[in-house]
Amino acid sequence: MSPRTKEQNEVIREMRMTQIMRAAAEVYLEKGIQLEIRDVAVQAELGYGTVYHYYKNKHMLLEDMLWDALNRTESALFPDVTGDGGSLRKAESFSRLLLRECVQDPSVFILLKTVADNFHQFPGNRFIKLYTEFQERIYLPFVGMIREGMGSSSPEKTANLVFGSLVGYAALNIHHNMQSEIDAEGIVNMIFSGIRPRESGTE
């Protein structure tokens, strides 16, 4: 009866959802949590009914977008990070990659900012699971690197400091349309030269 096979439909489905999430991220960048489904539909060049065809409601869409971003963040970070070198080097590399992802992928930026802001202004506790997973899959590994690399007594504080700075810096540039100016190398060097333990001896 159907002129399309199941597989074809599956492909369309996949495509549409990606298209919608991408649009949502772009609109979110502009309007924040106040984004309207209608805006998303316009941005995606779809009717707004179509958005509802794929997402039961606004929050499911945002949630899906953020889960997707979490997955992509993880894949972007870990192949490269888990490598050689001292742990602090890893943390630096991790930070650099994070920043680069932010610039390239709006939804990754949104994820990080949203986590940094503790999902304030997101209603309900729909996002607790997402937050927990972010902690486990992204934040705690990062804290680990810092701990190992510095022997710091409170690696969480340091991690927060780095994480907050990175996200704040990214936000400032992105919201002022200066993505291109973001100097991942520079800021990461700065931050880490600031936190790196004073080399003993000759100072």
Partner DNA sequence: GATGAATGAGACTTCATTCAT
Partner DNA sequence: CATGAATGAAGTCTCATTCAT
- Tell me the closest approach of the beta carbon of residue 133 to a copy of itself, in angstroms: 17
What one-character-per-residue DSSP string does 65-85 give?
HHHHHHHHHHHHHHHHHSSSS
Q: Where are the beta strands (DSSP E) in the chain?
A: none
Dihedral (C-alpha) 184, 187, 190, 195: value to the nearest 10 degrees? -90
In the chain, the N- to C-terminal Cα span, in Å, equals 80
Which residue number, 82 or 157, has a Cβ lying nearer to a copy of itself? 157
Question: How is residue 122 annotated by DSSP?
Answer: S
9 or 104: whose CB is closer to DNA? 9
Name which position in 36, 80, 181, 183 contacts DNA (CB under 7 A): 36
Ranges within 135-174 binding DNA (CB under 7 A): none
Name the minimum Å distance from CB 4 to DNA: 5
From the list 72, 40, 33, the residue with the least C-alpha distance to 54 is 40
Length of the chain: 203
**One residue of 14, 18, 30, 53 binding DNA per CB under 7 A:** 53
> Judged by CB under 7 A, does residue 50 bind DNA?
yes
Say which DSSP state 120 is in: T
From the list 7, 56, 125, 203, which residue makes contact with DNA (rule: CB under 7 A)? 56
Q: Give me the 58-97 binding string for DNA, x by CB under 7 A, dash otherwise.
A: xx--------------------------------------
Distance CA 147, CA 150 (A): 5
Nearest Cα residue to 113 out of 93, 96, 98? 98
The residues that touch a copy of itself, with contacts defined as CB under 8 A, are 29-34, 116-118, 120-121, 157, 160-161, 163-173, 175-176, 178, 181, 183, 186-187, 189-195, 202-203
Q: Which part of the chain contacts DNA (CB under 7 A), choosing from 57-65, 70-78, 127-135, 146-154?
A: 57-65
